[in-house]
Amino acid sequence: MSYLEKHSDKVDVFIKVCHHLAAHQYVTGHGGNLAWKLEDDVILITPTKHNKGDVNRDNVVFLNLEGKTIEGSVPPTGETPMYVNFFRERPDVQAVLHCHPPHLNAFVISDAPNLLMRPLFPETITEVGPVPLVPYGEPLTQKLADNFLPFLQKYNAFLMENHGYVFLTPWDIKWAQMCTDLLEMTAKHVIHARSLGGNIKEIGFEDLRDMGNIMNTRGLPLPGAPGAWNNLEDLYYPDGPPNN
């Protein structure tokens, strides 16, 4: 049985996510790519040089963890080295989504403070976490893939300087899409709040600590590799409570 047949239902979900990204203009032209680890050594990934709105069952690709094609009639995305790094360095990760949402991408070309590293909304805190800025690297290169390495164990969401956004998750590709929607809306809110003037308000340290209850109730893992953080306070305040 082919991998396409074996994982038919998941392939259909994967394609729907691709079409969602295109419909919301999170990707344009041939930009963006997605990958979903379906088995220990089987990765479903998008094809190169295809608009995500045109991805279908005839052009998806299956790779092994070395990045070699094991099924599919077209080459995989040129960002395959980045995905090989992600799945090798973070064996907990099941799905990865890379795209260029318009409000999030405003942050990758701005030299303003990166407020997406701060605790602003409960859902963004508990489902996404802080979003660091990864230094620029030429697309489709090992250099770009390696620029993630200092951040990869600590976070799940990343801004790529002058490029785009990446989200990793131990859950499925649909969850990656929903968290991307959430973070894009968060970025939109931040941009609107800045236009009002004044300061951006953060959720305080004590309230952040209490938010761990939400994580436990919903069974949400902390961002990063397992064991990278003890709690939300360490994640957002690694140097301890403010003004102490």
Q: Which domain holds residue 81?
A: 3-201
User: What are the residues whose beta carbons fall under 8 Å from the beta carbon of 141, sequence distance 6 or more?
Assistant: 81
CA-based nearest residue to 88, from 107, 71, 67, 115: 67
- Report if residue 241 sits inside a domain: no
Is 137 inside a domain boundary? yes
The token duo for 13 is 């979900």
- Rounded to two decimals, the pTM is 0.96
pLDDT confidence of residue 51? 98
Is 43 a member of any domain?
A: yes
Which sign does the torsion angle of CA 170, 22, 108, 60 carry?
positive
Tell me if 34 sits within 8 A of 96, measured CB to CB: yes
**What integer best gives the mean pLDDT of the chain?**
96
Question: What share of the chain has pLDDT > 90, as a percent?
Answer: 93
pLDDT at 243 over 90: no
Average pLDDT for 162-169: 98
Domain-embedded: residue 111: yes
Pairing of strands 157-160, 133-134: parallel
Residue 134 domain flag: yes
CATH of the domain at 106: 3.40.225.10
How many domains are contained in the chain?
1
Q: Residues 80, 58, 28, CA angle at the centre, nearest 5°?
A: 55
pLDDT, tens only, 74-130? 999 999 999 999 999 999 999 999 999 999 999 999 999 999 999 999 999 999 999
Q: With bands split at pLDDT 50, 70 and 90, how would you rate the model's confidence at 244?
A: low
Residue 34 lies in a domain: yes
Q: Is 153 within a domain?
A: yes
CA–CA distance, 161 with 146 (Å, rounded to integer): 14
- Tell whether 192 is covered by a domain: yes
pLDDT band at 238 (very low <50, low <70, confident <90, very high): confident
The share of the chain scoring above pLDDT 70, in percent, equals 100
